[in-house]
Amino acid sequence: MKNKFLIILITCLSLAITSCDVGASKGKTVKMTKKELLNKVKGGWAGQVIGVTFGGPTEFRYLQKIIPDSVKLRWDNDLVKHFYDTFPGLYDDIYMDLTFVDVFEKEGLDAPASSHAKAFAHADYMLWHANQAARYNILNGIMPPESGHWKYNMHADDIDFQIEADFAGLMSPGMINTSAEVCDKIGHIMNYGDGYYGGVYVAAMYSLAFISDDVNYVVNEALKVIPKESNYYKAMKDVIGFYKKYPNDWKKAWHAIEHAEWSTDLHCPDGIASPFNIDATVNSAYVLLGMLYGQGDLQVTMDISTRAGQDSDCNPATAAGILCTMMGYDKISDYWLDPLKPVADRDFQYTTISLNDVYDMGYRQALKMIEKHGGKVGGETVEIKVQSPKAVPLEVAFPNIYPTKVTQSTPPKRGMWGQWKMLHSLKTKEPVDIDFKGVGLVVKGGISGKELDKSYVAELQVSIDGKVDRVVKLPVDYRKRSAELYWNVIIPNGDHTATLKWLNPVEGGEIGIRGYIEFANTKKEIEVINK
């Protein structure tokens, strides 16, 4: 008890909190110097770069399996520069955030969701999953929040906003509800429900990392912004419970996560009946795994969040960003910081913003946010009005909608990344019929043709039971493509026929169908047919 009291006392004194009961910070204020504030903002951004670089080479190489200890995770002074030079796309965790930071910089803190959506949709970088689906929606007139809603986006529960929400917490120090408000505006561009909650929770942990260096407190207090009825909340509570049950063995907790009911991806078309899992819930679990078992040790935190597998660059980036916000830039050892220094003035790809730039931009936005929400900014200090967490509204994506049957071409030997054969090929206006049962259908595939003009946009008409449902645009430009050939999970229950017709075929082009997924209102074992 004495040690616990000393820790609380030291924490309170170091932050100059007006009440020493950190866990009951309702209505309290936190004072810190501007230098301390900047130090934490810098720590958060630097931590993301460290984490994504550390886990980068393992991303989605280990699916439903722990990365064994025999696999060495490289870290040296040349590694960050190496990726900047050879694979700058690794830092999508950062430059995606910077899109939104830049909009706030140019238009102010009240910049509307439409400004963020347009900047995101028209950026030059590649996108995948929920982001990709959202970009297609926005470019075709479906704006947020509908662009991220599950009725329009089959990837609504994916990890996308979770890996992009760091900025919302870093610009809202100690103001946990403010960070959620920022998330509401931007997170619904690409996600909904559990996918949205992943970003809200991450931002909340960043926000609290400014006022507490107690990992357990931050993890538990931040969860109060997530509605208890949600699947996401229950999953994170399970992870915290697994940590308490197996406090000295993270691998036992990992196995418990794998066997939890919520660990199966049921809606991302690439994750259904597959070891691949980009769902926000399970990847958030791996973030927590690293944070809880790392207990403030950056090496251990990143190592565990990486070795848990799946999105194993994004997860350590998130965990390291939160932890380094707690620590502050100056307390990160040179071992981790030295590799960042040679690139600190280099712009991230697709941006005109460097690490040193975003340190300053993030700091300025945090100062403005402190003033806007009742705090004070003095000559050398700031006074933050700490907020007591309030749960955001309940959202449930894909209610009572479950995959029941997957029909696909035989998977390639290299897993989902290999070359798939096609079940059907459209080269003319001759249509293809797909018979299915239930309430929904997703058709996977894409357009190909080496000689096709880059400006060409194919139009694929999809009819259900003889009635045109929609015309899907399939641009040759990969950045503007739709995530799937067709998706609709709100079809009246019954036996159906989907008819796919290429309205404007061109010589040398092909629309390939490599599989389709049927959905029903009842959950059962998924039937998988390989042809």
pLDDT in tens, 478-496: 899 998 999 999 999 999 9
Domain boundaries, the chain: 25-66+75-116+158-385, 402-530
Q: Which CATH architecture has domain 25-66+75-116+158-385?
A: Orthogonal Bundle (1.10)
pLDDT at 58: 95
Phi and psi, residue 493, nearest 5° = -60, 135
**381-385, strands of its sheet edge to edge:** 29-33, 381-385, 376-377
pTM metric for this prediction: 0.93
Q: Return the DSSP state at 347.
A: B
In the predicted model, is pLDDT for residue 10 greater than 70? no
Query: Which is it for the CA torsion 39, 44, 49, 53, positive or negative?
Result: positive
Distance, in Å, from the CA atom of 370 to the CA atom of 374, rounded to the nearest integer, reads 7
Band (16; pLDDT cuts 50, 70, 90): very low
pLDDT at 25: 45
For 152-179, give the DSSP string.
T-TTTTBSGGGGT-HHHHHTSTT-HHHH
In the predicted model, is pLDDT for residue 414 greater than 90? no
pLDDT at 401: 98
- Homologous superfamily in CATH for domain 402-530: Galactose-binding domain-like (2.60.120.260)
Cβ neighbours for 490, distance < 8 A, ≥ 6 positions apart: 151, 439, 440
Distance, in Å, from the CA atom of 106 to the CA atom of 371, rounded to the nearest integer, reads 18
Distance, in Å, from the CA atom of 287 to the CA atom of 47, rounded to the nearest integer, reads 14
For 211-274, give the DSSP string.
T---HHHHHHHHGGGS-TTSHHHHHHHHHHHHHHHSTT-HHHHHHHHHTSGGGS--SSTTTTTS
Phi and psi, residue 476, nearest 5° = -65, -35
